[in-house]
Amino acid sequence: MKRGKQIVIFLLVLLFCGGYAFWRSGLHLSPEAAMAAEEQGLRYGPSNKILLTYEKENGSQVLVGRWEKGLSVVGVEPKWGIFWKSTDLINGNMHCLFMEEPVEAFLTEENYIVGLCELPEATEVTCKLYVYDEVEKASVFVKELTMEIGEDGFFYGETSLPVEASTEYGYTVEHVEAKGKSGETIFIKGADV
């Protein structure tokens, strides 16, 4: 067989094997595709709209998406310059925010508060963060953050939080209050109600 023909056959074999390896590798051509693969692996979604993307110090990204029943937060990282792969999350439950109430919010691992408000008349949301303190043996208030409600009812805010040994259980959003244009409370739930 001519060398040229053999080269074509080699290329076809490499294409097939390379394609198979890529298919099985968990690599994707975009951050959104990597996110969808993670979501479907966890058996929800996938998100039909990305509402927020932020970068972490190590170059990976965190995508916040809107899916049928709430919000989804998935970390993705670049691989070899052109591919993307979902990163391992410490707590799988941090992926999903279910809309059990008209306003819901939670804190991501990178200290972003993200949430959804399904009340069209609400214009801003105040969230209060608490943390379980081993010394106090109780949840203690840490800080509050007020955020504007944007398109699609999505709101978010970045916050810095102290890391202390007695609070290693992590911070949680335990109070949510939505207000209207005139500052009136439209919805409230949580620790200070």
Partner 1 sequence: MREPWERYLNDVVSHVRFAFDRRKIRQELAEHMEDLYEDLLSQDIDEKQAAELTVDYMGDSEELGKELDKAHHPVLGYVWLILGILCIVVAAKTAFGLLDTGIGIAKGYFAEVYPASASEVVYTISPDVEKQVYDYTLYIDKIVYYEDGRMEVDYATWRNPFSRDEYWTFEIRAFPYVGETQCYNGEGSYKDGRYYGKGQIKLRDVPEEADRLEIRANADLGNGWGEPIEISLTEGRVMAE
By CB under 8 A, what part of segment 41-80 binds partner 1? Answer: 41-45, 67, 69, 72
CB of 41 to partner 1, least distance (A): 3
**Sole residue written with tokens 């965190």:** 62
Chain Cα centroid distance, residue 59 = 16
CA distances from 26 to 31, 41, 42, 91 (A): 12, 11, 14, 20
Closest to partner 1 by CB, 13 vs 140, is: 13
The set of residues, in sequence order, having a beta carbon less than 8 Å from that of 165 and lying 6+ positions away, is: 134
Name the DSSP letter for residue 21. H
If one asks whether residue 169 binds partner 1 (CB under 8 A), the answer comes out as: no
Our CB check for partner 1 shows the closer of 10 and 169 to be 10
Secondary structure of residue 28 in the 3-state scheme: strand
Binding-site member from 31, 64, 86, 156 for partner 1 (CB under 8 A): 86
Give, rounded to a whole angstrom, the gap between the first and last alpha carbons of the chain. 82
Does 37 contact partner 1 by CB under 8 A? yes
- Contact string (CB under 8 A) for partner 1, positions 4-33, x = contact: x-xx--xx-xx-xxx-xx-xx-x-x-----
In the chain, how long is the greatest CA-to-CA distance?
83
Residues that bind partner 1 in the complex, under the rule CB under 8 A = 3-4, 6-7, 10-11, 13-14, 16-18, 20-21, 23-24, 26, 28, 37-45, 67, 69, 72, 86, 92-93, 95-96
